């Protein structure tokens, strides 16, 4: 009888978070070494998390989000946050039936 634990599903939360961090880091051209420095850990530790061999902690996700100038929500879900980002301004809403103003 085997007591080996089943391998995690390919779409586990840890794997999705790792993929989201890889994608966001890639968009911003940030390397594992740069993230390691920001986190105060070695590049090999980041590599393990990068490949979902080890899970990212919530505090690490917060640091990574700040370093990548994104939100923890984006890293956890892969979905851009709704609303305005930092430095963006709200545009006026336009009706579908515009009338000239006097």
pLDDT digits 0-9 by tens, 11-55? 789 999 999 999 999 999 999 999 999 999 999 999 999 999 999
- Cα angle, residue 77 at apex, residues 74 and 79 outer, rounded to 5°: 60
Give the chain's mean pLDDT: 81
Closest to 21 in 3D by CA, of 77, 85, 84: 77
pTM of the complete model:
0.68
């Amino acid at each position: 009888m085997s007591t080996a634990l089943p391998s995690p599903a390919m779409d586990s939360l840890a794997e999705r978070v790792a993929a989201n961090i890889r994608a966001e880091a890639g968009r911003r051209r940030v390397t594992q070494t740069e993230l390691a420095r920001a986190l105060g850990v070695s590049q090999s530790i980041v590599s393990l998390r990068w490949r979902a061999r080890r899970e990212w902690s919530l505090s690490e996700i917060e640091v990574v989000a700040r370093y990548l100038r994104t939100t923890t929500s984006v890293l956890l879900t892969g979905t851009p946050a709704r609303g305005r980002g930092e430095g963006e301004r709200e545009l006026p809403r336009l009706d579908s039936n515009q009338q000239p103003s006097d």
